[in-house]
Chain A
Amino acid sequence: MSLVNFTTREITCKIVYYGPGRSGKTTNLQYIYGRVPEGRRGRMVSLATKTDRTLFFDFLPLELGQISGFTTRFQLYTVPGQVYYNATRKLVLQGADGVVFVADSQARQLDENIESLQNLQINLLDNGMDVRDLPVVYQYNKQDLPQDLILSKRELDDALNFRQRPSFQADALSGSGVFETLKGVSELVLRRLSEVSTA
């Protein structure tokens, strides 16, 4: 997917929310959906089918309007966290311009987080993408839970964010940190404008 198309004067950013099951990816999108004026958002689509597992994701298109003469669109996707939907995850990752890794802050979910992160790297590689070149931010969700149940930002950074990418604490249900995360990944993605633009 081309991030910037100078021919049609369009900027399109595909951002994928990745992470283990129940970490709060869809909640992120629904919170954003709820905050975007009606004219700026497309219909949020959630596709799930028992028979065709490849179609199982959430999709939220955002029209940001004209920015510096470019029609700017964001496309937010989530992937199914469940292990058995790996083919779908790989499919959704295709052409991603940026990834938000939504981690569950609960201490007991750490292994799932690590497994999902490894799965992200493998799926990116399978798509010919290198996680080192891709804008990735981390969101540590469910930080509103009692402190004795969750890991701190520093602990989660140590465990997951060894490339020292931007990370955000969040409580997606209340919306805390949701837009901060989106802003963080957007900035990384947009700063690559001139590098990956196409004729």
Chain B
Amino acid sequence: MTTDLNPRYSFETFVLGEPNRVAYNAARSVAESPGASYNPLFIFGPTGLGKTHLLMAIGNRAQSVSEGFSVEYLTVDEFLEAYQVATAMGQADSFRNRFEGVGLLLVDDIQFLAHRRPVQGELLRLLSGFQESGQQMVLTSDTPPADIEDMDERLLRKLDGGLVVDVAPPDREMRRQILEQRAEERGADFEAEVIEAVAAFEVGNVRELLGLLNRLAAFQAVSETPVTADAARAMLDWEVPAEEAVMPIETPRAAEVEDDPFDMTPLFIDMPETDEFADFLSDVSSTVEQQIEVWRERLAASILRWQPEGYRTARLEQAMQSDEVMAPIERLVGQFEADIGRLQEMQEAMREVAPERANDIAFFDPDRVAEAEHLVQKAVRELGALPGPSEAYSPGAFVESGANRVAVTAVGATVSDPGKRYNPLVFVGGPGVGKTHLLHVVGHGLATRDNFWVACMSTQQFLDELQQAIDDDRWDAFRARFGKVDALLIDDVQLLAGRRHSQEEFFYLFNRLLEAGKQVVLTCNVSPRDIEGLDERIVSRFEGGLVAQLDSPDRDLRRAVIIKRLEDLYGAAELDLVDYLAARPASSVRGVLGLVQRVLSAADARGVDPSGRLARELIEGAIPAREDGSRSIRTSGVTSAPGVIHSQDKVIWRWPDPVERIIEELV
């Protein structure tokens, strides 16, 4: 994680000159009494002027002055890496703690902290801690602190509070000294005039200067005679300045290379000393790092967010540390956090159903969402199944006509797209028009969907369930049980009228299902608004969906019902019988079927086939209009004049056991 100090970089090997004297003196002072003089010490200057040399010289000297003194040298890359690893592991404190015993911390090239606010913040905290405890920090950069882009103001103030010194490009005297020193180190022997001639060239940094020296040394090594000052000047004339160094073989622009794309001859006789590629590489590295840094910080932030809450973050840690398959960061973190959201929902549901199982480890592992869902489903089922649609109301037995077409169309849309189109769907109509049948038809349609839980029951059953929950003091279980269904179908909701507490609970459940996109289908014998004693909130919500009216059966419906009934029983239907019965008025399908049944029973009793004639005789004979035109029959509050029976199904044609009833009344 850290770089060892290079023993070659010492104050003794550092070439001192006016351009770097202040920095040199400050560095020595810090090295000999760390934490006592300038803290922090900030050294800046262009690349190649000896900043790293000074930094390591401080470390080497401090260690030699005090044996066992702890010195740590870090490039900013190493600093960043240490920070990222620590934050990724959720151990930011360990990052700070690792510097506790360090007496002198040397950080190189902090200009690369530009735009990295979180790391800047960490450096600020570290620096404050160092100052408080008398630990020394020395930093370098290629620009003054204030010129580092997007730098934390507090960190800038902290850096300015220490000592900020620069190292400038070497002057001529310094260049001469450097050349002499390096020539001696290389064992190259140059005339003093040659050194002087080279020193006369103004170069931007020491590396460039050494590059010139290397060229001269290489030239001298292959020459029979020593390099002279004039030869050196002639040789270096085109080397410096750099922009004049590139010499094309062919200068006329007309001879540009596109004329001969096969020609791979390098255009240039030599490279300039300035390393444009290295510069480019550094630029690219910086940009990539910034982008990758964003990616890592996003992962680390998410890990830090969820780990303390007990959630497993292995998926994110793996993404950060390994070469495994990784998605783009927003997708990766987004999916992770969506999974946690789902786990939280599941855990909440489990708290309602079986609180003792709500802390199962599956609820804290985003890689086990399916398992968590299974646990909840299992717990809900253990509470007991809710009734589904009845087989007695098969979809095939329902007869469609103009009287119920709107409702039937709504059923189709609801079955194909539950919870989306008509929610709630409310069937309204008088008794016997097929509301209950249609409700169960919806239930059968929805039940064919995979993993789709349909609860279909009467309002009375719902109220019984609710009463049971109240008696057992298991409200949460009741809510969880109903809250888990994918579709709730309830018959005769008018029965909720006047039951305030039941309406409260129904309202809660209804809202919860609708908010979760679950389908609700209801039946009602009158329009919701006409139900007395039904809470206005419930009425308005019912009307917010689709209220579909089922009318009394028209002639077509009656006819279709009669034919279907007769065909089901006999395989065929006598047309005269069908026409006669279909022409009889009926307020409900149930009434039509009652009429058919009456004819069939009579035919059965007489041992003849059911026919129109028999029906006429039976029905018209049973109410002998011609024999007793003044008598009317009063049933269920409906008074019917002879021959004008409006509600056949309300007429009680056969009183069961009248004798027993009379005895019962008398007793």
> In chain B between 245 and 291, which residues have their CB closer than 8 angstroms to a CB of chain A?
246, 248, 251, 253, 256-258, 261-264, 266-268, 271-272, 275-277, 279-281, 283-285, 287-289, 291
Chain A residues near B406 (CB-CB < 8 A): none
Distance in angstroms from B252 CB to nearest chain A CB is 10
Distance in angstroms from A162 CB to nearest chain B CB is 26
Q: Take A6-B325, A26-B258, A30-B257 as given contacts and tell me if A176 and B243 are in contact as well, using a CB distance cutoff of 8 Å.
A: yes
Interface pair B280/A183, CB less than 8 Å apart: yes
With most chain B CB atoms within 10 A of its CB, the pick from A25, A34, A176 is A34
> In chain B between 503 and 534, which residues have their CB closer than 8 angstroms to a CB of chain A?
none
> Interface digits, A42-73 against B, CB 8 Å rule (1 contact, 0 not)?
00101110000000101000001101111010
Interface pair A34/B267, CB less than 8 Å apart: yes
> CB-nearest residue of chain A relative to B288?
A67
Q: Complex formed: what's the CA distance from A81 to B280 in Å? A: 26
> Which DSSP category, helix, strand, loop or mixed, fits chain B's interface?
helix
> CB-nearest residue of chain A relative to B254?
A22
Chain B residues near A69 (CB-CB < 8 A): 292
Interface pair A194/B243, CB less than 8 Å apart: no
Chain B residues near A80 (CB-CB < 8 A): 258
Q: Complex formed: what's the CA distance from A3 to B271 in Å? A: 31
Q: Complex formed: what's the CA distance from A66 to B161 in Å? A: 37
> Is B301 among interface residues, defined by CB-CB distance under 8 A?
no
> In chain A between 5 and 48, which residues have their CB closer than 8 angstroms to a CB of chain B?
6-7, 9, 11, 21-22, 24-27, 30-37, 40, 44, 46-48
> In chain B between 182 and 225, which residues have their CB closer than 8 angstroms to a CB of chain A?
none
Interface pair B267/A70, CB less than 8 Å apart: no
Chain B residues near A9 (CB-CB < 8 A): 323
> Is B295 among interface residues, defined by CB-CB distance under 8 A?
yes
Interface pair A46/B283, CB less than 8 Å apart: no
Interface pair A46/B261, CB less than 8 Å apart: yes
Interface pair B266/A186, CB less than 8 Å apart: no
> Is B314 among interface residues, defined by CB-CB distance under 8 A?
no
Q: Complex formed: what's the CA distance from A25 to B257 in Å? A: 9
Q: Complex formed: what's the CA distance from A174 to B275 in Å? A: 15
Distance in angstroms from A192 CB to nearest chain B CB is 9
Interface pair A70/B292, CB less than 8 Å apart: yes
Q: Take A7-B325, A34-B271, A81-B258 as given contacts and tell me if A187 and B287 are in contact as well, using a CB distance cutoff of 8 Å.
A: yes
Interface pair A6/B328, CB less than 8 Å apart: yes
Q: Complex formed: what's the CA distance from A195 to B327 in Å? A: 11
Q: Complex formed: what's the CA distance from A6 to B248 in Å? A: 42
Interface pair A190/B291, CB less than 8 Å apart: yes
Q: Complex formed: what's the CA distance from A193 to B283 in Å? A: 15
Q: Take A40-B277, A48-B262 as given contacts and tell me if A27 and B284 are in contact as well, using a CB distance cutoff of 8 Å.
A: no
> Is B330 among interface residues, defined by CB-CB distance under 8 A?
yes
A36 in complex: contacting residue of B261, B272, B277, CB < 8 Å: B277
> Is B294 among interface residues, defined by CB-CB distance under 8 A?
yes
Interface pair B287/A186, CB less than 8 Å apart: yes
Interface pair B326/A187, CB less than 8 Å apart: no
> Is B124 among interface residues, defined by CB-CB distance under 8 A?
no
Interface size class of A (residues with CB under 8 A): 35 or more
> Is A118 among interface residues, defined by CB-CB distance under 8 A?
no
Distance in angstroms from A144 CB to nearest chain B CB is 9
> CB-nearest residue of chain B relative to A82?
B258
> Is A191 among interface residues, defined by CB-CB distance under 8 A?
yes
Q: Complex formed: what's the CA distance from A5 to B499 in Å? A: 63
Q: Complex formed: what's the CA distance from A109 to B411 in Å? A: 71
Q: Complex formed: what's the CA distance from A193 to B294 in Å? A: 10
Interface pair A183/B283, CB less than 8 Å apart: yes
Q: Complex formed: what's the CA distance from A44 to B266 in Å? A: 11
> Interface digits, B294-335 against A, CB 8 Å rule (1 contact, 0 not)?
110000000000000000000000000001011111110000
> Interface digits, B450-482 against A, CB 8 Å rule (1 contact, 0 not)?
000000000000000000000000000000000
Q: Take A72-B288, A187-B283, A193-B288 as given contacts and tell me if A27 and B256 are in contact as well, using a CB distance cutoff of 8 Å.
A: yes
Interface pair B253/A142, CB less than 8 Å apart: yes
Interface pair B284/A64, CB less than 8 Å apart: yes
Q: Complex formed: what's the CA distance from A143 to B590 in Å? A: 96
Interface pair A190/B266, CB less than 8 Å apart: no
Chain B residues near A65 (CB-CB < 8 A): 281
Chain A residues near B294 (CB-CB < 8 A): 194
A34 in complex: contacting residue of B263, B266, B288, CB < 8 Å: B266
Q: Complex formed: what's the CA distance from A31 to B109 in Å? A: 30
Chain B residues near A186 (CB-CB < 8 A): 280, 283-284, 287
Interface pair A194/B291, CB less than 8 Å apart: yes
Distance in angstroms from A37 CB to nearest chain B CB is 7
Interface pair A190/B243, CB less than 8 Å apart: no
B285 in complex: contacting residue of A22, A67, A173, CB < 8 Å: A67
Q: Complex formed: what's the CA distance from A158 to B609 in Å? A: 99
> CB-nearest residue of chain A relative to B295?
A194
With most chain A CB atoms within 10 A of its CB, the pick from B267, B275, B287, B291 is B291
B284 in complex: contacting residue of A21, A37, A173, A190, CB < 8 Å: A190
Interface pair A34/B262, CB less than 8 Å apart: no
Q: Take A30-B266, A40-B277, A183-B280 as given contacts and tell me if A199 and B287 are in contact as well, using a CB distance cutoff of 8 Å.
A: no
Q: Complex formed: what's the CA distance from A58 to B256 in Å? A: 14
Q: Complex formed: what's the CA distance from A40 to B284 in Å? A: 14
> CB-nearest residue of chain B relative to A187?
B287
Q: Complex formed: what's the CA distance from A69 to B262 in Å? A: 36
Interface pair B326/A68, CB less than 8 Å apart: no
Interface pair B327/A199, CB less than 8 Å apart: yes
A179 in complex: contacting residue of B251, B280, B287, CB < 8 Å: B280
Q: Complex formed: what's the CA distance from A98 to B283 in Å? A: 17
> Interface digits, B125-156 against A, CB 8 Å rule (1 contact, 0 not)?
00000000000000000000000000000000
Interface pair A27/B288, CB less than 8 Å apart: no
> CB-nearest residue of chain B relative to A197?
B328
> In chain A between 62 and 118, which residues have their CB closer than 8 angstroms to a CB of chain B?
64-65, 67-70, 72, 74, 80-81
Interface pair A199/B261, CB less than 8 Å apart: no
Q: Complex formed: what's the CA distance from A132 to B268 in Å? A: 37
Q: Complex formed: what's the CA distance from A197 to B248 in Å? A: 40
Distance in angstroms from B433 CB to nearest chain A CB is 56
> Is A182 among interface residues, defined by CB-CB distance under 8 A?
yes
Interface pair B258/A21, CB less than 8 Å apart: yes
Chain B residues near A145 (CB-CB < 8 A): 253
> CB-nearest residue of chain A relative to B263?
A46
Chain A residues near B325 (CB-CB < 8 A): 6-7, 199
> Is A166 among interface residues, defined by CB-CB distance under 8 A?
no
Chain A residues near B257 (CB-CB < 8 A): 26-27, 30
Interface pair A56/B248, CB less than 8 Å apart: no
Distance in angstroms from B1 CB to nearest chain A CB is 15
Q: Take A182-B280, A183-B283 as given contacts and tell me if A173 and B248 are in contact as well, using a CB distance cutoff of 8 Å.
A: yes
Distance in angstroms from A13 CB to nearest chain B CB is 9
Q: Complex formed: what's the CA distance from A7 to B325 in Å? A: 4
Query: Chain B interface (Cβ within 8 Å of chain A)?
Result: 243, 246, 248, 251, 253, 256-258, 261-264, 266-268, 271-272, 275-277, 279-281, 283-285, 287-289, 291-295, 323, 325-331
Interchain Cβ contacts under 8 Å between A and B, 5 examples? A21-B258, A46-B262, A81-B258, A187-B287, A191-B287
Q: Could you list 8 further interchain pairs (A-B, Cβ under 8 angstroms) beyond the known A22-B258, A183-B283?
A: A11-B288, A21-B258, A36-B277, A67-B288, A72-B288, A179-B277, A186-B287, A193-B292
CB-CB nearest 6 A-B residue pairs? A6-B326, A68-B292, A193-B291, A46-B261, A197-B328, A199-B327
